Each structure stands twice: as structure tokens, then as C-alpha cells.
């Protein structure tokens, strides 16, 4: 059976393209930059499907359509709780007329106020570094529970101008693992304030595919990524916004590239790929095939945090390959698939998911990449 290319529709009846394998969905966007999916519509559609509860943890909420979807949910008596990064509501310097509107991040503040007026419980983080989460838990106590996560911030830029992905998984057990993390966030556990107290969540089988979630900084996602890379036998493909030398991921990538047994190919955001602290030169010198994605009209950033190993294990989520991401920030990653899967049907399902992600990396390289 070939992979299922599903069609969803937005409020205007327009098709949204994605891949759905059993209870696992992958969405690559934005459609405005030639990718398959309209990411804003995917998020709005997910919210509109809530029946009882929505728990939202996201770095920034600036998209009015997404905020309106949350307000609609509250108006139909869905319990809605939101945690966002404080920096997008505050100002760097106090102004003399604080009752006047305007200035940087005013759209964020207007949305914040509107949600308060809609009786939505909204909080800000206590992390002095970055609250970098991007997930929604829908109906966590229901048999139809689902989680949406990925690299996409809930902003006009994040959904329409940055290259991003979303993952939706329909599974009650996984939803409860995310709910446990959200509960700790609501109790004030942020960043290193909760380090070492939270056990690593168990792997979950979703539609016969192993799925593993890790939350930073508690669970050291960097080590898990390195572990998965060490299992590669043929190739590693990735698209990443920030890839720093402070990450151990570059060390194992350089080692694999020098050995020549595993092909390394990656696309990196053009703004950060050339920074002195970036891992770009070392990885390229080791023989990896690297592409820079420059910022152009309409394309603001390559913002993915996406890796595909041997075409069938996907690493997705909010986690950039940097030291601060693993030590200080609030993050989450998903490992979708298992290179050790013995069932041929499971391997084929993993390959179909992997192919969808690889097709987007291919497209980014072809349409936007410049060989480093």
C-alpha cells in the first residue's frame, strides 16, 4: 500500500495537503513558499477539533486566526490554558505613556488581552532563557486525544514566511506524556528549575511505529539525537535553523562524514550558517553536502529542526542543535520510527513517513539552497 496523501480543508474549502500514516500526520510548509501545507490552517483546524480541553505551550502567539480559533473553542465551553514566552509581551524600556498602545510586539499584547477577555487562562514563563515550546494537547483525557507539535511558531511569519513543519499524533498515551510536562509548566517548573526531577518518558507505539518524546533540559535531547545518528548505516539528511559548535551533534556528524560510510546532507539557514560559532565549516570540511538557504523576498528563515536517518527515522520538534537548547531552554523533540524495527510492514510505514520529510528537504535544497 502506498502512502496516504490526505486532504483537509480550511474554512474557505481549500485543500490542505499532508501525509497521514495511521494516527501520525506530517505537515510541511508553508504553502506560500511552495511547500505542501498551509501551516496556519493546520493549526486552526486542530484547535477547531477540540471538544473539551486545549493545553497550549508556545513561544509566541501573534497569529490572529490562531487566537480566534482558541477564543472560538472557549466560547463553545472548551477549557483553554495557554503558556507563552514573556519576552513577547514586555518592553525593553518603560515608556512614559504606558496606557497608550503601539510599539514592538503590540500585536502579541493585543492577542493576550483579547484572550483574557475571553476568559482564557493565559500565563507567561519564568525561564530566564527561552521558553521555546511549540505544542498543543487536545482533549488529553479523551480516547480521541491528540498532540500537535513541531518547529512552527504561532505567528504570521512562522506560518507563512519561515520554512517549518508540524507533527500531529492521535494517541492518548502520548498526549498524557505531554500533559504531564504541561502540568509541570503550570506549576512553575521552567528550564533548569526542573532539571533532574522528571524521568524520561517511555516510548509509545502509534500505528505500529515507535514514537519517543523528550523534553529539554530534563531529558538531554542532544544525547538522544547523537544516539540515533550513531545507528545510521546509509545517510542522514537534515534541515536546521541553528547548528552550533557547542552542540555535540556536530562532532558525531563530522566523524561519520570523515568515515565516508554515511552520506551527510543538510540545509542550514543562511543567516546563521556563516556565524563564527556555527558548526558549518567543520561539517563541510569533513565531506558533508551542505546548502545555505539565504533570506529572500517572502522567505524569512529556514526554521526547521528536522532530521531523517536512513530514510525512515524522523527527528522533529522545537529543538535547535545548540548548547543552550539542550542545557537551558524549554524544548521538545519527537523521534518517530526505529531503525531496529523487524516487521517489514512497519519499516515500510516508516519509509513512507521518511520519504515525505525527505521530499521537503529535497525541495528546499532545489528551490532555495546554495551549495556551501
Phi, psi of 158 (to 5 degrees): -65, -35
**Cα–Cα distance for residue pair 18/238, rounded to 1 Å:** 19
The pLDDT of residue 15: 46
CB of 107 closer than 8 Å to CB of 129: no
Site of grid cell 520519504? 355
The pLDDT of residue 14: 45
Domain 5-371: CATH superfamily, name plus number: Endonuclease Chain A (3.30.870.10)
Please provide the DSSP assignment of 243-300 as one string.
Answer: BBTTSTHHHHHHHHHHHTSSEEEEEEEHHHHTSTTBSHHHHHHTT-EEEEE--BTTB-
The domain limits of the chain are 5-371
- Note the pLDDT tens digit of each residue in 271-287: 999 899 999 999 999 99
Q: What is the pLDDT along the chain (372 residues), one digit of tens a residue?
A: 333 444 444 444 444 468 999 999 999 999 999 999 999 999 999 999 999 999 999 888 889 999 999 999 999 999 999 998 766 556 667 776 667 676 667 787 888 889 889 999 888 766 556 677 899 999 999 999 999 999 999 999 999 999 999 999 999 999 999 998 888 887 766 555 554 467 788 999 999 999 999 987 777 889 999 999 999 999 999 999 999 987 789 999 999 999 999 999 999 999 999 899 999 999 999 999 999 999 998 999 999 999 999 999 999 999 888 877 677 777 889 999 999 999 999 999 999 999 999 999 999 999 999 998
C-alpha cell at 352: 513512507
- Sorted by sequence, the CB contacts under 8 Å of residue 64 that are 6+ apart come out as 107, 111
* Per-residue CA distances from 370 to 131, 159, 250, 266, 290 (Å): 32, 23, 20, 11, 8
* Per-residue CA distances from 36 to 15, 88, 306, 321 (Å): 10, 29, 16, 25
Amino acid at each position: 500500500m502506498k502512502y496516504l496523501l490526505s486532504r483537509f480543508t480550511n474554512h474557505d474549502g481549500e485543500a490542505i495537503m499532508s501525509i497521514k500514516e495511521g494516527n501520525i500526520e506530517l505537515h510541511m510548509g508553508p504553502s506560500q513558499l511552495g511547500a505542501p501545507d498551509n501551516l496556519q490552517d493546520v493549526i486552526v483546524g486542530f484547535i477547531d477539533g477540540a471538544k473539551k480541553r486545549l493545553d497550549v505551550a508556545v513561544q509566541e502567539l501573534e497569529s490572529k486566526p490562531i487566537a480566534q480559533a482558541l477564543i472560538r473553542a472557549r466560547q463553545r465551553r472548551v477549557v483553554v490554558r495557554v503558556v507563552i514566552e514573556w519576552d513577547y509581551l514586555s518592553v525593553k524600556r518603560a515608556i512614559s505613556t504606558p496606557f497608550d498602545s503601539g510599539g514592538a510586539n503590540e500585536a502579541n499584547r493585543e492577542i493576550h488581552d483579547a484572550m483574557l477577555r475571553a476568559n482564557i487562562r493565559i500565563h507567561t514563563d519564568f525561564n530566564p532563557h527561552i521558553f521555546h515550546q511549540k505544542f498543543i494537547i487536545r482533549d488529553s483525557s479523551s480516547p480521541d486525544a491528540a498532540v500537535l507539535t513541531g518547529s512552527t511558531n504561532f505567528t504570521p511569519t512562522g506560518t507563512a514566511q519561515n520554512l517549518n513543519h508540524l507533527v500531529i499524533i492521535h494517541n492518548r498515551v502520548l498526549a498524557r506524556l505531554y500533559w504531564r510536562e504541561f502540568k509541570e509548566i503550570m506549576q512553575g517548573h521552567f528550564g533548569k528549575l526542573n532539571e533532574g526531577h522528571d524521568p524520561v518518558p517511555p516510548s509509545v507505539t502509534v500505528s505500529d511505529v515507535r514514537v519517543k518524546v523528550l523534553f529539554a533540559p530534563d531529558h538531554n535531547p542532544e544525547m538522544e539525537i547523537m544516539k540515533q545518528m550513531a545507528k545510521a548505516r546509509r545517510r542522514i539528511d537534515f534541515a536546521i535553523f541553528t547548528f552550533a559548535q557547542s552542540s555535540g551533534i556536530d562532532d558525531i556528524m563530522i566523524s561519520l562524514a570523515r568515515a565516508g560510510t554515511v552520506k551527510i546532507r543538510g540545509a542550514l539557514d543562511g543567516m546563521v550558517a556563516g556565524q563564527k560559532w556555527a558548526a558549518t565549516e567543520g561539517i563541510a570540511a569533513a565531506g558533508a553536502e551542505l546548502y545555505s538557504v539565504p533570506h529572500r523576498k517572502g522567505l524569512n528563515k529556514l526554521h526547521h529542526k528536522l532530521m531523517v536517518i536512513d530514510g525512515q527515522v524522523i527527528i522533529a520538534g522545537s529543538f535547535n542543535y545548540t548548547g543552550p537548547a539542550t542545557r537551558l531552554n524549554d524544548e521538545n523533540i519527537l523521534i518517530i520510527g526505529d531503525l531496529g524495527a523487524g516487521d517489514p510492514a512497519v519499516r515500510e510505514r516508516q519509509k513512507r513517513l521518511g520519504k515525505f520529510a525527505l521530499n521537503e528537504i529535497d525541495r528546499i535544497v532545489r528551490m532555495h539552497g546554495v551549495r556551501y
